[in-house]
Amino acid sequence: MDTPLTRDDAARPQGPEVQPPTKTMTWRRTIFSWLRTLLIGYLGIVLLMMLFENWLMYPATRDMQPPPCAEVEDVHLTCANGTRIHAWWLPCANSKSTLLYLHGNGGNLTWRGGSIMKLRDRLDVSVLIVDYPGYGRSEGRPSEQGCYETADAGYTWLVEKQGVKPADLLIYGDSLGGGVAVDLASRRPHRALVLIRTFTSAPDVGAGVFPWLPVRWMMRNRFASIEKIQQCGSPVFAAHGDVDDVIPFALGKALFEAAPEPKHFHLMPGARHNDALPDAMFVALKSFLAKHAP
C-alpha cells in the first residue's frame, strides 16, 4: 500500500536531484564567455578596418595652399575614366629633363610647393606634380587604380602636350607615391626612376603598424612595388632615412635590392619620414643623373 504524500512531500520536486554547478564548471563558462566576447570584438575591428581602409589609406584634404612662386601654372588633366585631375606645372628655363612628381598620401599637391622648387632649382628640371582623385581640386575619390590613372594622365600630358621625350622624363615617387611611380615606370619608358622613403608593398607597411591583424589578407590596396620593380628598365635612385617612423628603413632597402642595375641607394642618417630632405640627397641625385645621362 502506498504511503500518502504529505504537504511537504508534494511541494518537493520529484525526479533526479539537480546538482549545483561546481567551481570548475563556473570558470569554464566564464572563460568561454570572455573568449567569445574577444572573438566578436576582434572580428568587429577587422570588419571596421576593411570598411574604412580607404579613409585610413588616403587622408586627403581639399584645403589649398598658395603656389610657392609666380611661375607655377595650374593644369587640368583628364584620366582615362573621365576624372578631372588638378596639377601644377613648374617650368625651368634651362631644363634638360622633366620630372613627374607623384606625392605621398597626406594633404595634396599644394603641400609640396617647397619640394618642387628645390627639385627645379637643384636639378635644373621642369616639374609636373599631380593630385590624385579626391585630393585638392581633383575630382573623384582616392583609390589605388585612381592613383595609377592619375600618373598615366600626367605622363601623357608631358609627352603629348609638352613634347617631352620619354628619354628625358624622370619619374619621382615619394612615400605612397613610390608605389605609383614603380607601377608607371614598369609600363612606360623613362630616363630614371627616383624613389624616396617608399616601400615594398602597402600590406607590408600595414602589417608593421597592425601586427595583430591579418593585414596582408585584409588589404585591398596593394601597391605591390616589389613585384613590379624588375620591369623598370631604367636607372633607379632610392633614398631612405634610417630612423623613418612611418615606413621602415628595411622596406625601402628591400625594394632597392630587388631593383635591376644600374641603381644607387642614398642613406639619410637620422632622417624621419616627414623631415625635410637633406641637401646631401639632392647632391647625390644630381650626381647619379649626370652619371647616367642619356
- For the annotated catalytic residues, the residue numbers are 175, 244, 273
Q: Under a CB-based contact definition with an 8 Å cutoff, are residues 176 and 223 in contact?
A: yes
Cis upstream peptide for 294 (omega within 30°): no
Residue 286: all three cell numbers together: 644630381
Residues 6+ apart with CB under 8 A from 43: none
DSSP code for 115: H
Residues paired with 78 in a beta bridge: 84
Query: Which phi and psi angles does 65 have, rounded to 5°?
Result: -110, 155
- Of 287, 293, 207, nearest to 250 (Cα)? 207
- Of 165, 155, 152, 68, nearest to 109 (Cα)? 68
- 49 burial type by CB count under 10 A (0-12 exposed, 13-18 middle, 19+ buried): middle
Residues paired with 70 in a beta bridge: none
Q: Under a CB-based contact definition with an 8 Å cutoff, are residues 171 and 269 in contact?
A: no
Q: Under a CB-based contact definition with an 8 Å cutoff, are residues 138 and 131 in contact?
A: yes
Q: Under a CB-based contact definition with an 8 Å cutoff, are residues 212 and 171 in contact?
A: no
Residues 205 and 84: their CA atoms lie apart, in Å, by: 30
Q: Under a CB-based contact definition with an 8 Å cutoff, are residues 246 and 275 in contact?
A: no
